[in-house]
Structure 1
Amino acid sequence: MTTSTTPSGSSPPAERPALTRMGGFLPVDPVLRRLSLLTLLNSFGRGLFFSLSVLYFTRIVGLSATSVGLGLTIAGLFGLVAGIPAGRVSDRFGSRPTLTVLWLACGAAMASYTLIGSYAGFLAAVICYAVVNQSGVGVRSALFADVLPPEVRVEGRAHLRMVTNVAMGVGGSLGMLALQADSRGAYTVVILANAAGFAVAALLVWRLPVRTTAAGLAGSSDEPVSRWRAVRDLPFITVTVLNGVLVLQYSLLEVGLPLWIAQHTDAPRWSVALIAILNCALVALLQVRITRGIDDLPRAVRAMGRSGVLLGLACLVFALTADLSPMWAVAVLALGAVIQVLAEVLTAAGGWTIGYALADARAQGVYQGVYAAGFSAATMAAPALITFTAIEHGTAGWVFLAVLFTVAGLAIRPAVAWARRTGEWRGEPA
C-alpha cells in the first residue's frame, strides 16, 4: 500500500470511522455487529462440542480411540482438498450464498452425528462434516473481503477472532456439564445445539449486505483461467507455505505443551490449564489493539518476521523447563506462553493482511481457499511434527522448531517481494 501527500490547500482525507470501541470489545459498525453475532453463535456451538467429540464417539457410540483417530484423520484429508473448489464456487456465485449453503450443510452433517450406529456411519458423517466445514473456511475469508472495506477488514477480523475465542471458551465451559452427565441425552443436546448454531448463523450470513464494488468484481466477465490462477501462483503458494509453518504454533499450544509438561517437566498438571487460560485472555485483550498497527503490507511483513523470532525464543524458553523445580517450571512456562501469545497475535494480523493484499480481488474465493488449505495442512501435520521433535528429542527438538519458526518468519519478506514483482495483474481495488 502506498501513501500520498495531501496537496497544499486541499482538505485532508477523512478519518477512517472506528469499527469498535471499549478496546475492541464492542463493535459499532453495523456490518461488523452482524458478523459478530453470527460468529458468536457459530463459535459457541463449536465450543460446546469441541471438548467432548472424541468422548462421544468412544463412550456413547462405542468406537475405539484408535479407530476414531484414524477416521478423523481420513476426514481431515477430504476436508483439506475441498477448500479450493469451494472457493471457485464462491467466485462464481458469490461468497454470501455459498457460505449460507455450506453452513446449513454443516448443521445437517453435525445433526447426523446423533444417528451414528456403526463405523461406516461414523466415517460418512465425519467426512461430510469435514468437507463442508473446511470448505467454509476460505469462503468465510472471501465473505469478509466482500462485506468489509479493504482498509478495515483486517481490524474487523481481529475483532471476530476475539469473539471466536471468547465464545468457544464459554461454550467449552458449558460443554463440561455434558461431560459430567456422560449420557447419550446430554451429548445429543450439545450436538443439536451446535447444529442449530450453524443453521442460525447461515441465515444471518444470507442477510449480510454486500459492497457494490465487491459484487461487481465477483460478477465481472474476466477470463475463466483467472479464477484458478491461485493454484498456479507460485509466489502466493510460497507465502502460504511459510504462513503454514508459523501457524504450527497452535498445535504447539494444544498438543506439544501438554505432552511436554506431563512427560518432561516437574510442573503440576494444572499448569496446562493455566497456560490455556492465559492464552485465551491475552489474545482477547491484545488481538484488536495490535492489529490496528498492521494495516498495510510492509507492516504485515515486519509483523510476520517478528512473530517468527518470538516463536523461536518461546521454543527455547520452553526447553529450559525440563530441569527446573515445579514452581520455577510454572513461572518459565508462563513466560514462554506470553512470548508465544505475542507471536500468535502478530502472526494472525500479518497473515490476514498478506493473504488479502496478495490475492486477486476478482478471485478472492480461490485465493482464500488456497490460503486456508495451507492452514489446514499445517494443522494436520503439526501434531506428528511436534511430537517427533520436541517430545521425543527434548532440547534438540525445541531448537529445531526454534530455527524453523525463525527462518519461516524472516523468509516472508523475500517471498512477499517476489509476489509483488510478479503480481501486477492483481485486481485489488484501492
Structure 2
Amino acid sequence: MLNRLLPPRGPARTLTGITLVHTMGQGLWMALNAIYATTVLGLSPGQFGIGVAVAAGIALAVSTPTGHLADRVGPRSVQIWSFLALGPLTAALLAVHGFVMYVIVVSMQAVAYSASRSARMAMVAGLVPPEERVSVRAYLRATSNVSVSAGAALAGLLLTVDSVRAYQLAVVFNAATYLVTGLLTLLLPAVEAQPARPGPALTVLRDRPYLTFVALDGLLSMHNLLLDVVLPLWVLHHTGAPRWMIAAILLTNTVAVVLLQVRAARGTDDPPAAAKASRSGSFCLAIACIVFALTEGASALLACALLLLGALAHVLGEIRQSAGSWGMAFGLAPEHAQGQYQGTYAMGADLGKMIAPALLTWLAIEHGTTGWLVMAVGFALVGAAMPFVVDWARRSARPAQDPVAA
C-alpha cells in the first residue's frame, strides 16, 4: 500500500519517503506530548498549555523569516540543519526540570520546526515542476496520514505499558526520527539559493492579495478541528449515537484521505482552478455542517447514519479544499521567494488552529443547530471569495515583486 502512495520517480519520491519517517515520530508524540509533560515532568495542565501556546506563538512569528532564510541560503541546507537541531532539542526533554526549562526547550524546538516546515515546502517548489507540485503535496499528505496513524498506534502500545521508561523511549524515538530525516535530506538535490534583490526583504508582507488568501485559507482550515475537537463533544452530549462512532468517523476520514487525496488534487496546479476547488470544497464542508446539525436529538440509528454521511461530506470538502489551498499557495507566489511565501502561507493554518477550538466548540456545543448553520454559512462564504482573491492577485503587477525580472 505504501508503495502506491509514493510518487512514481525522482526527488518527489524521496521527499515523500522522508515525510514518512518524519511524521511517524510526529504521530507518536502528538499522542504522548501532554502525558509526558504532566506525568513525567510533573507540570500542571495549565503549565503545559502555556508552554504549547508560547511555542505556537514563536513558530508563528518566525515562519516568514525562516522561509526567507531558506530562499537565501537554499532550502535543503535549512531543512538539514533544522532537523538535525530538532534531534537534540527533542532529546533535551529527558533532562528538563521545571516549568521554565520546559518553556525554553519547546520554544527552541518551535524555531527549528518552523524553519523545517518552510524549507520543506520551498524544496517542493524548487525540485518539482509547477504542474506537479500540488500532486506531490497530495502524496505527502496521504503518506503522512499513514505514518501518523502508525505513530499513534505505537503510542497506544506505550500507553498500555504506562511507565516513565516507556515515555522516555518515545522521546528518544521521536528525536531519532528527526535526525534520520535530516540525514535523508542529503539524498535530495540542492535547490539553488536566491540572491538578494533590491527593495524590502520580506516582500510577502506587502503582497495584499496573498495575505488576504492566507487569512481566508486560515479560516477555511478550521474545519480540520471539527472531527478532532468539536464532533466528539457533539456526539457525547447532543446525539444518541454510541461513543464508538467517534472512532469510526476518524477512521473514515483517515482512510478516505489516504485513498482520495491524490486524485482530488488533479487539475488544481493553476490558481484559478485551485480557487474553484477550494470553493467546491467549502460547499461540501457547509453541507457536512448541515448534516451534523440534523443529528441533534435523533435516534441512535439515524444519528449514526447521519454522522457517517456528514463525515463523508466533510472529507470530500477537506481533500478538495486542501488541494485548492496548495495550488494557490504555490501558484500565487513568485518563484524567487517561495520560501518566505510558503512560510507565510503556513501562518494561516496556524492561526486557524489557535482560533478554531474555542470558536467552533462555542458555536456547536453552546448553540446547537444554530451554531452548525452559522459554520455552514461561514465556510461557504469564505470559499466563495477565493476566486475573487485569485483574480485580484493575478491583476496585481508581479514585476513589482521581482525587481530583477522587471
Same fold (TM over 0.5): yes
Partners in 1 of 2:383 and 2:117 — Cα distance? 23
Between the aligned residues of both structures, percent identity stands at 39
- Indicate the residue corresponding to 1:361 in structure 2: 335
Q: CA deviation at 1:368?
A: 0.8
Q: CA deviation at 1:266?
A: 1.5
Asked if 1:56 corresponds to 2:31, the answer is no
Q: 2:348 aligns with which of 374, 381, 391?
A: 374
Asked if 1:150 corresponds to 2:150, the answer is no
Any conservation in 2 of the 1:63–1:119 contact (CA below 8 Å)?
yes
- Indicate the residue corresponding to 1:414 in structure 2: 388
* Equivalence map 1:74-223=2 (5 Å): 74-210=54-190, 215=192, 218-223=193-198
Any conservation in 2 of the 1:84–1:135 contact (CA below 8 Å)?
no
Partners in 1 of 2:164 and 2:276 — Cα distance? 50
How far does the alpha carbon of each residue in 1:25-62 deviate from its partner, in whole angstroms, 9 at most, with x for none?
24321212211221111011111111111111112222
Higher helix share: 2
Any conservation in 1 of the 2:6–2:17 contact (CA below 8 Å)?
no
- Indicate the residue corresponding to 2:50 in structure 1: 70
Shift of the 193–107 alpha-carbon distance from structure 1 to 2, 3 Å rule, reads: same
Any conservation in 2 of the 1:103–1:132 contact (CA below 8 Å)?
yes
Q: CA deviation at 1:115?
A: 1.5
Q: CA deviation at 1:224?
A: 4.7
| 1:151 match: secondary structure | helix
Q: CA deviation at 1:21?
A: 11
Asked if 1:254 corresponds to 2:231, the answer is no
Partners in 2 of 1:109 and 1:259 — Cα distance? 35
Any conservation in 1 of the 2:6–2:16 contact (CA below 8 Å)?
no
- Indicate the residue corresponding to 1:325 in structure 2: 299
Q: CA deviation at 1:206?
A: 2.8
| 5+ residue gaps, structure 1 | 1-19
- Indicate the residue corresponding to 2:314 in structure 1: 340
Q: CA deviation at 1:133?
A: 1.3
- Indicate the residue corresponding to 1:350 in structure 2: 324
| 1:268 match: secondary structure | coil
Of 261-270 and 162-171, deviating more is 261-270
| 2:240 match: secondary structure | coil
Shift of the 48–221 alpha-carbon distance from structure 1 to 2, 3 Å rule, reads: closer
Partners in 2 of 1:28 and 1:413 — Cα distance? 32
| 1:321 match: secondary structure | coil
Shift of the 54–356 alpha-carbon distance from structure 1 to 2, 3 Å rule, reads: same
Partners in 1 of 2:272 and 2:145 — Cα distance? 27
Q: CA deviation at 1:186?
A: 0.4
Q: CA deviation at 1:187?
A: 0.6
Any conservation in 2 of the 1:60–1:183 contact (CA below 8 Å)?
no
- Give the count of matched residue pairs: 403
Partners in 2 of 1:52 and 1:385 — Cα distance? 25
- Give the counterpart letter for 1:38 in structure 2: I
| 5+ residue gaps, structure 2 | none
Q: CA deviation at 1:74?
A: 1.9
Of 136-145 and 348-357, deviating more is 136-145
Q: 1:267 aligns with which of 232, 237, 241?
A: 241
| 2:295 match: secondary structure | helix
| 2:296 match: secondary structure | helix
Q: 1:232 aligns with which of 206, 219, 224?
A: 206
